[in-house]
Amino acid sequence: MKKQVYIYRSFERFWHWTQSILIFFLVATGFEIHGSFRFFGYENAVNYHNIAAYTFIVLIIFAIFWHFSTGEWKQYLPTLKNIRAQINFYLIGIFRNAPHPTKKSVLSKLNPLQKLVYLGLKVMVIPVMVISGLLYMFYRYPQKESIQSLNIDSLELIAYVHTLGAFILIAFIIAHLYLITTGETITSNIKAMITGYEELESHEENISSKSSEENETGKEV
């Protein structure tokens, strides 16, 4: 038996959608700056890219504060338990209507593979993108002269790192968009991230409720 459970909080949903929009916009303006296509025009693309980058950094700061103040950072603690089963599910089981190897709950929203991927994005890919992007904005980009005071004759390596990070994000987005459609229905995962509610097995909710009741009892004692 399944029950509607409030699993994604309001800020979590706001952060998710705002982050998604900003990443799409940064990717689009970034590739226009590289000359892949023309839409806004080079100068406008640079300005829009910089504004979106600053906005993204502010969002990251608020997200970090929210994750640590609410304890939601624990959702990303990696585990190897069921990791092989999860990989097999995505590669084979999902096409055979096999049951999901892990169960989602309020206290555990991510499966083992998601935890590893999201943790990698948060502690490696995103920081590298932010740092390399700031180097561009403050030290050379989009100016053409070199910065002798910092002993930087060329930012070519930083450019490659920043671009590589962009391609990693694109790969993640493609995989993420596909996996969104693998819920109970094609739109169930999107709906959950809009409303905050998702259908979960009733016993999962009972476990969460029981844990909450035990915590409250402990406080009273």
Q: Which residue has the tokens 């916009």?
A: 25
Q: What is the CA radius of gyration of the chain?
A: 21
Q: How far apart are CA 125 and CA 132, in angstroms?
A: 11
Percentage of the chain beyond pLDDT 90 is 48
Question: Which one is predicted more confidently, 81 or 145?
Answer: 81
Q: Which pLDDT score, from 0 to 100, does residue 193 have?
A: 93
Residue 201 bridge partners (DSSP): 2
What is the average pLDDT value for the chain, to the nearest integer?
Answer: 83
Angle between helices 10-33 and 42-70 (to 10 degrees): 150
Burial letters 79-97, b for 16+ CB under 10 A, else e = eeeebebbeebbeebeeee
Residue 204 has pLDDT above 50, yes or no: no
Q: At residue 79, does pLDDT exceed 70?
A: yes
Q: 3-class SS at 5?
A: strand
Distance of CA 84 to the CA centre of its chain: 22
pLDDT digits 0-9 by tens, 94-124: 888 888 888 888 888 999 999 999 999 999 9
What pLDDT score was predicted for residue 207? 44
pLDDT at 84 over 80: yes
Residues sharing a CB contact under 8 Å with residue 3, sequence separation 6 or more, in sequence order: 199, 200, 201, 202, 205
Q: Of 3.40.50.300, 2.60.40.10, 2.70.150.10, 1.20.950.20, which CATH number belongs to 2-216?
A: 1.20.950.20
Confidence band for 180, pLDDT divided at 50, 70 and 90: confident
The predicted-structure confidence for 63-72, as pLDDT tens digits, reads as follows 999 999 999 9
Q: What pLDDT, on the 0 to 100 scale, is given for residue 19? A: 95
Model pLDDT, residue 220: 36
Residue 147 has pLDDT above 70, yes or no: no
Q: How far is CA 188 from CA 112, 182, 185, 193, in A?
A: 21, 9, 5, 9
CB burial readout 141-172, b (16+ within 10 A) else e: beeeeeeeeeeeeebeebbebbeebbebbeeb
Tell me which of 119-133, 189-203, 206-220 is least confident.
206-220
* Helix intervals (H) in 121-184: 126-135, 156-180
pTM of the model: 0.80
pLDDT of 145: 58
Q: Mean pLDDT: which of 1-5, 8-12, 154-158, 197-201 is highest? A: 8-12
Cα–Cα distance measured from residue 215 to residue 221, given in angstroms and rounded to the nearest whole number: 10
pLDDT of residue 210: 41
Q: For 160-170, what is the mean pLDDT?
A: 91
Percent share of the chain, pLDDT over 70: 84
> Poorest-confidence range of 36-40, 79-83, 147-151, 181-185?
147-151
